[in-house]
A and B are shown apart, each in its own frame.
Chain A
Amino acid sequence: MTEFINRNKRQLTWTLYLIAAVAIALFLGDQLAGKKAARIVQTLISGVLVGGVYGLVALGIVVINKASGVFNFAHGWMMVVGGMIFWSFFTVSQISVLGAGLLSSATMLMVMSTVSWRNLREGRNPLIAIGGIIVLTALMTVGGIEWQWLHALTGTFAGAILTGLAVERFAIRPLIGQPLFTAVLMTLAVAEVLHGVTQIAWGTVELNLPVFVDPQTNSRFRPIRLDAFRDVLDGVAIVRVELVIAFLLAIVAFVGFILFFRYTSVGLAMRATSEDQQLAQSVGLRVRVILAITWAVAAFLASIAGVLQGGAVGLSLNISFVALRVFPAVLLGGLESISGAFIGGIIIGLVEQFGTLINSSEQVGTNLAPYLVLMLVLVIRPDGLFGEKRIERI
């Protein structure tokens, strides 16, 4: 008997998986049997679109983890800060030059001093810094409210870089060489400070962030109604335009990052750094700079996600909790996998929506199903669906 099991381990495992898959399919089929086709299609659409936003949030967490091995608990608050900065530039008709100048100065200061504070004095660096400040400030303040997208994107870009670099410089860099745990805990502390900074700068508010609005009516885009399929679906499914935009943005970001990590020298250097910081340093990579870039990039990703979520629901401090909801997506895809984050996000989005469709009076969709799926995936594929296989015994 034991011999048989050992000889046919692979076949047996797959048989078990198959049985489980059939059981799940039967269960789902039974639960969904009474639902209209339109509802199921609608749930599919919502799940995939919401999953795209999750994927974008997950991407920010994965990027940092990929480069530095740190799990970033502060990602949610980076989303809030990014969204709030965007709101400030987007909705204010007359941007104060002083405020924009301060923001760009701080950003350039952090950028130029990434390697060392001494760099600020060397060669043409002061000129570059001043030039950068002028350009950024000009981009943030030029024209009136009709230039709001330019203002907001520049402001968010500068703000995100400032946030990322400041976090890296003052919180993460002092911990190079210390246990990884400490750095993870440090992100928790950073989250608290970002929470406080948000409170001081914007207060405890719920804001309307009108990014997805139709300029004519000043109302959010009307959703696309799939009227053409009314007869087939026995009802009308709708597609929310702002979620489609978010989804497309997420795809662009993902493709960009996959290419970035595969083909650019900085991307390759980031991967090398995540493998072994000391080794990377010894082959001549500037670990500091690479970590700094990673944090800036992650902060920018967080800002985009914050703007999308804020635009779709409204901007509030609650957005920080979206990052917690994304944990299963990150894990499902694998902590190191860019494409995994995206697919993990979509799977979790679908699981949540279908769980809600089946039973939303017991929070099956949000509090149970994603974690059951997570457990299942962990048992079947311990490194996530797309995580790097590590050859080691457990």
Chain B
Amino acid sequence: MKRLSTLLVLLFLLGSALPSLAQEMMDYPSDLTECEVDLTGETINIFHFGDLSGPYAFITQPVVSAVTDAVNYWNGRGGVCGAELAQIYEDTGGSREAAQSAYDRFTSTYGDQLDLLLLYSSDDGELLREQLAADEIVSFISAGSIESLYGEDGQTPGWLYASNPLYINQFGFFCQFVAASPEVFPDPVIGFVTWPNAFGRAGTEPAAREYCSGLGVEVLTEPQFFLPTDTDILTQVQNAIDGGANIIYTNSLATGPALIAGTLVDLGLEEDIKLAGVNWVMDTTVGILGQRVLKPNGLPSVDGMFGSMPFLWWTELSHPAVQFVYQQFTINERGPTEQNIAYLVSWGVVDSIIETFIRTVNRVGSLAAVSGADIRATVDAMDYAILGGLMHHRFDEGMRDATQNRIAVMKFANADMSGAATGPGDAMLVDGPAGKMYLPIVVPLTDFMPVPQLRG
């Protein structure tokens, strides 16, 4: 009951902006390929496993919710080409041992049925890369590391396909953006203040530094690391600033970007030092946690933080894909903590999986005859706007990560929901669990553009 009372009014407000949604069910936003084969009586399983109870669970957990909702939606409409959808998943708690065991269990229990697997973490991708290739199983992953997608030499495309650009490419893309906006970023020097794991370190490689300095953007050689358990990171932030940085870039989630932003406000440098990050910093949790500290101008500390946004976000409600997912989110009475990027993207991934299966079955003739190699052939050839444009599924020759990206900025909604607030006066304040709270929105600053390829 406590949960219900903490339901953020966020949902309600977003919903009220779209009164029409409440009444009529929206059509499915994407043009799926026509079924040529009737699959009535058969089942298409969506296999996935990952961290549902471990350190990253707060961002990956909504994958299960989204896939559950999508499966129920499709089965309620009579299935995909008549075939029932089902999901089979496992919780690994973020441990490699458990991931290996889950993979073994999946492959030995489902054998031929397992041709397409959804993974969450690039760590699992690295572990299973060779095995997926040997077993001929295609895997969709949200964001893979260079090693998981392209092998140790960075040149060998495997069986994993990532829906995000590589983190290093996102960083290079950000450098492009910085170089193109000298009025916002005069004499840019970027310093990394980031988590020390493989995810946090992505982008600190020399290749990225060289690329950026070629654009006139200096990047400090020494990354500053902090841990998710750190109470105080003044030292790290000041190290970066003493090193000359006027832009801080972070690969961290949730409390990470919020902590950096708060530290900048503490130091009184929120106007002088810009904050930017990987696509995961553009998330609801960061927007809420970032309100712990307000800037002198009255807006939350993360107001004005830049980040990659390779898909659409919740606030881009003019797009039918977001409207549709939002409606499903409301119908299924999902909680505020699930309204994050994973829920949105997972609907897209399910759409992509369905489209892949329809195309493959149309070509092969029956569901039973589908093999991993067939799926791969489909995925390689597919050029498809997921949910009509939420993401784009297109992997050119030898590419395993997404090639399109945007830069967005985190803002907070103004009182009439027409745009971003400029101060506490015109900001939308809603009753949250901890008193009044601001409404985070993500404003794209660029169109989708190709990212530089920096994996070297």
Chain A residues within CB distance 8 Å of chain B? 36, 39, 42-43, 46, 49-50, 53, 88, 90-94, 96, 98-99, 145, 195-196, 199, 203-206, 208-210, 213, 217-220, 223, 225, 236, 238, 240, 243, 309, 312-314, 316-319, 321-322, 325, 353, 356-357, 360-361, 363, 365-366
Contact = CB atoms under 8 A, between A and B. Distances in A.
A39 B238 contact: yes
B1 A96 contact: yes
Contacts of A366: 225, 227, 230
27 contacts: A92-B2, A92-B5, A96-B2, A98-B1, A204-B57, A205-B58, A208-B292, A217-B298, A218-B435, A219-B293, A219-B294, A312-B232, A313-B230, A314-B255, A314-B292, A316-B58, A316-B228, A317-B57, A318-B55, A318-B255, A321-B229, A325-B227, A353-B232, A357-B239, A360-B225, A361-B222, A361-B224
A353 B3 CA distance: 38
A363 B235 contact: no
A312 B294 contact: no
B436 A356 contact: no
Given A314-B255, A314-B289, A91 B434 contact: yes
B234 interface: yes
Contacts of A206: 58, 254-255, 285, 289
Interface stretch (B166-174, B259-267, B344-352, B397-405): B259-267
Contact of B433 (A92, A360, A365): A92
Contacts of A195: 53
A46 B267 CA distance: 13
Contacts of B61: 203-204
A204 B53 contact: yes
Contacts of B226: 360
Contacts of B238: 39, 42
B6 interface: yes
A42 B255 contact: no
Contacts of A314: 254-255, 258-259, 289, 292
Contacts of B298: 217
A245 B337 CA distance: 30
A236 B228 CA distance: 26
Contacts of A208: 288-289, 291-292, 434
Contacts of A50: 231-232
Contacts of B236: 356, 360
A317 B55 contact: yes
Nearest to A43: B235
Nearest to B290: A208
B229 A322 contact: yes
A96 B4 CA distance: 12
A317 B227 CA distance: 14
A11 B116 CA distance: 71
A243 B231 contact: yes
Among B6, B232, B236, B262, the most chain A Cβ lie within 10 Å of the Cβ of B232
Interface string B203-238: 000000000000000000011111111111011101
A313 B259 contact: yes
Contacts of A98: 1
Contacts of B242: 36, 39
Contacts of A312: 231-232
Interface string B42-74: 000000000011010110010000000000000
A238 B267 contact: yes
B228 A321 contact: yes
A316 B222 CA distance: 29
A360 B239 contact: yes
Contact of A46 (B196, B235, B285, B335): B235
A91 B239 CA distance: 36
Interface in B7-39: none
A99 B298 CA distance: 36
A210 B229 CA distance: 18
Nearest to B298: A217
Contact of A240 (B227, B266, B292): B266
B229 A42 contact: no
A260 B352 CA distance: 64
A166 B109 CA distance: 40
Interface in B231-277: 231-232, 234-236, 238-239, 242, 254-255, 258-259, 262, 266-268
